[in-house]
Chains A and B, each alone.
Chain A
């Protein structure tokens, strides 16, 4: 599931063309457009490891495979957990259609059944990770308005644009605003801070180990932390494949019930 999140984050916060970034008159929305549009893949497959650390420092680790077909705002994804044994075969299917809330189903092999996941409270954590349900939803560029705050901040040795994003519908987000840092030379959000309506920093997302595969930027390591709770979720992405010819019939309820094909 977190994989899916990572994808979304990658899509939301990242890519951009180096050339455009290099231009002399930066516009916040244009920078973000490049971040959103840099992933031009028709499908994607990831293998990843997710570590959730509680405030005592205990770490729970899970492995999963993430598959996606379609483009941002019109995509289908399946996440299949492969490790540990207790969650092996558990699958999550999401269907994202522009303008509507994600529809999600979960398959649990122990009882061999699919369940629909209800639309939930935005601020609620998703399955114990540091990602909230709102973070998990597939966003589009127009969900936020953007404002460039600065151009010279250094993040992980990269010069970045600092952009403020504010939700278009304030009542539909748990966040009042977010700060995004996008490197001048890479269309990818390498750092994001999310603030609540009281101005408290609720979450921090760090994307590191950026790599370009098949012309698409991805971060090999993503870390979402929740400072008030002192918890952290880390995603380390291993094998990545783009445009491997995934079929749409691998993204429906029947496919969800076949954990063997992962």
Chain B
């Protein structure tokens, strides 16, 4: 085969030059698929690198870190750590993602450190060469002292001694800038949106009591890090983890895994569409080169070599397309990483320090190889078809392939069986066998659908035929018949469309189902008149209200009662679960029928008495627990153990969540912070009026988001939309690639039929009729693609709600397919198809009849 390479390259080059547009579109199809694949992996890696840089810069020279849960742990642990032999230096840390009170908002990462000793651990470079903080004693003595990065100072035109307004647990406060450090070391973190203050002042200002978030420490030279880690683990109370700073990155990686998985799936979808584009290109290429193949075969070239020739061509195309894809993907990664890091900060409160895209040669190579392999896979069937051509008939340019090949019973049975197998595995298969294995369920269904595609296309087209006849007469019928008579060509276009639309529909269905589920859940759980939150993301990991604010709100006219809620994440069974603490008596009084699997009255009594907890259904399902089982948690004070007294539906965390009485939480976690205040009003009191009162009360003092019940529900829905922004991006990518697929396939399809169109013209067909026919065929393909895409979408939605939602999101979401979305997408697909067909149709009808008939 290698000896044929020069000839092959020459033939290929000739073909590529002759069909420049087709070649370009095919290359673009591969390039896009590869670029998305490479971009997602690169963006993911860059995001992790950016998050790790934050950890490293913040950790400084620390060799070990002691971390607890989100609520922090008592600073008394610091004394234990300092007194542990082998600890050279240990410093307490508080991290707060604060919010500036400037018009343009913006978050500020505030790191509380011991300003008297922290320089042994962290690098601070102050602006004045060789100088220190202007007045360290004042900086320590005044809790409003803050040191900021020069980047932040320049952004807000701040200098030493200026006021910096920030929202704190005690309301809005003006901090005084008492030092500006260079954008190096810790100053590089979070794009310079970083400030440092004394840890004890931070405790006071941010209402953290005597708790700290972390202890960073360095080991003595005489003791190894591992040995010290072991010693500390033996000495420290349970619930505290002694870890190397780098290991914390793994935790973050796990937390953002759902986001990464979603993006990776989208990239494979993009690549799959690329495979269809290749398939279509080569199907057409084979058709166009029958005579060429016939000559080669007549000259004695063996079947295998003909097949190899096409595969090599596909490989060449894959090589060029993949190279372009890798380059394109590297650029695309920059944008993708920005979006992902924003989500990481908003949703997970993980702060990234922007890093240039990481170029990993192995990733590039993998993407390249996958791209080339996808091209070859796409060309396998056309190449096989080419090798099976009868040389005599091929020389006469007569299609010899049998339609039954793609519409045969065997294929249909195989296709149906694969779809059924996929469905069966989704319905009855084990739930926790690993994400890759479970994705194969969806792949089985998809493979079945691809095999069934020609038949499905044909069936849909046959249904469409009378409609087209009635609407457009003989031109419409010819358009549909053309589709039916060329099932391979039609299937390739429809397949590209099906993959893209399947993704769009199933993702849309998933999002819609999730929204509806949450909406119903909110109707049962969220029924206070007003809700006040600390963050635009439902809760903040680092910013909380103090109970004092609730006390003031409770005295407002019209307020009958209120409940304080604390929502945080705590370690459980090696993972992190949601913990919701509420004033249970008030909560039970207003929620509707939330307790499941238990007597609601008994559960209520136990909850109020602090004798039990409620567990979310996904928590129980995830850890195989039921009512009556006990949950044990490590807390900053002593181990917490309570039985589950009931289950409830809850969407706080994909890992599951538990509910407990607030008094119980405060007792064990020694934390009285508040994340949300739910306010109940006297009957007849206007919620809007009280809302304005609360806003007046908090204005200029607290960063608080006050919502009426309906506003809150709308806001949650918007939040979900925000979380799904990546999914929408994936949908957009799928639509772009599917569009590219349609454009490619239709362009090729029309070009291929120049002779056929010429014959139609020769027997009296008008230019306008030919043009209309091409446009109608494009429209029919779009409709068929939409129908098949909807079918695939339904199947994939089933996979997503049954498997993916549980596997990635941990939630049980009912199956609902948004058929209205199909109708919404219809005009979009029609427009794209008609636009794609317009230019080739115009070109086709303008071609002289003689030239068209002579086209091979």
Contacts and interface: CB of A to CB of B under 8 A. Distances in A.
Interface stretch (A8-16, A22-30, A54-62, A246-254): A54-62
Contacts of B128: 54
Interface in B118-143: 119-120, 128, 130-138, 140-143
Interface string A119-134: 1110011011000000
B116 A128 contact: no
Interface string A219-241: 00000000011010000000000
Contacts of A119: 117
B130 A228 contact: yes
Given A111-B200, A117-B116, A118-B89, A54 B142 contact: no
A86 B91 CA distance: 25
B114 interface: yes
A109 B137 CA distance: 13
B640 interface: no
Given A108-B143, A117-B117, A125-B132, 16 more contacts: A54-B131, A55-B131, A60-B134, A81-B137, A86-B141, A90-B141, A106-B140, A108-B140, A110-B143, A115-B114, A115-B116, A120-B116, A120-B120, A127-B137, A128-B134, A228-B130
B724 interface: no
B140 A128 contact: no
Contacts of A172: none
B820 to A, nearest CB: 59
Interface in A191-230: 228-229
Given A111-B143, A229-B130, A118 B137 contact: no
A109 B143 CA distance: 10
A132 B312 CA distance: 74
Interface in B65-110: 79, 82, 89, 91
A90 B114 contact: no
A87 B141 CA distance: 6
A115 B79 CA distance: 11
Given A118-B91, A118-B116, A110 B141 contact: yes
Given A54-B131, A55-B131, A117-B116, A127 B141 contact: no
A84 B746 CA distance: 82
B141 A108 contact: yes
11 contacts: A60-B135, A87-B137, A90-B141, A109-B141, A115-B114, A118-B114, A118-B117, A124-B119, A128-B132, A128-B134, A229-B130
A111 B201 contact: yes
B572 interface: no
Nearest to A118: B117
Contacts of B136: 127-128
A90 B137 contact: yes
A21 B817 CA distance: 102
Contacts of A117: 116-117
A21 B806 CA distance: 89
A124 B134 CA distance: 15
Contacts of A1: 137
B137 A128 contact: yes
Interface in B133-170: 133-138, 140-143
A116 B78 CA distance: 11
Interface string B197-229: 000110110000000000000000000000000
Nearest to A121: B120
B88 to A, nearest CB: 10
Contacts of A120: 116-117, 119-120
Contacts of B200: 108, 111, 113, 115
B137 A62 contact: yes
Interface of A: 1, 52, 54-55, 60, 62, 81, 86-87, 90, 106, 108-111, 113, 115-121, 124-125, 127-128, 228-229, 231
A109 to B, nearest CB: 8
Contacts of B141: 81, 86-87, 90, 108-110
Shortest beta-carbon contacts, A-B, top 3: A118-B117, A128-B136, A111-B204
Nearest to B78: A116
Contacts of A121: 119-120
B147 to A, nearest CB: 13
Contacts of B133: 128
Contacts of B140: 90, 106, 108, 127
Contacts of A52: 135
A98 to B, nearest CB: 21
Nearest to A125: B132
Contacts of B114: 115, 118
Contact of A86 (B120, B132, B142): B142
A109 B82 CA distance: 25
Most chain B C-beta atoms within 10 Å of own C-beta, residue among A87, A128, A229:
A128
A119 B88 CA distance: 10
Contacts of B134: 60, 128
Nearest to A128: B136
A106 B120 contact: no
Most chain A C-beta atoms within 10 Å of own C-beta, residue among B132, B133, B201:
B132
A121 B136 CA distance: 16
A242 to B, nearest CB: 27
B559 to A, nearest CB: 32
Contacts of A124: 119
A73 to B, nearest CB: 24
Contacts of A113: 200, 204
Nearest to B82: A118
A199 B239 CA distance: 51
B171 to A, nearest CB: 17
A127 B114 CA distance: 13
B94 to A, nearest CB: 13
A23 B200 CA distance: 55
Contacts of B143: 108, 110-111
A122 to B, nearest CB: 11
A121 B124 CA distance: 15
B306 to A, nearest CB: 77
Contacts of A231: 131
Most chain B C-beta atoms within 10 Å of own C-beta, residue among A52, A60, A81, A110:
A110
Contacts of A125: 132
A229 B138 CA distance: 21
A117 B114 CA distance: 9
A256 B210 CA distance: 19
Contacts of B119: 120-121, 124
A229 B204 contact: no
Interface string B33-65: 000000000000000000000000000000000
A229 B116 CA distance: 20
B589 to A, nearest CB: 39
Nearest to B130: A229
A250 B116 CA distance: 24
Contacts of A229: 130-131
Most chain A C-beta atoms within 10 Å of own C-beta, residue among B82, B89, B131, B143:
B131
A81 B138 CA distance: 11
A62 B140 CA distance: 14
A52 B137 CA distance: 12
B116 A106 contact: yes
Nearest to A90: B141
Interface in B354-372: none
Nearest to B144: A110
Contacts of B131: 54-55, 229, 231
Contacts of A109: 141
A86 B131 CA distance: 21
Nearest to A52: B135
Interface in B748-769: none
Contacts of A54: 128, 131
A196 to B, nearest CB: 14
B201 to A, nearest CB: 6
A228 B116 CA distance: 23
Most chain A C-beta atoms within 10 Å of own C-beta, residue among B137, B142, B201:
B137
A52 B132 CA distance: 12
A56 to B, nearest CB: 9
Contacts of B138: 86-87
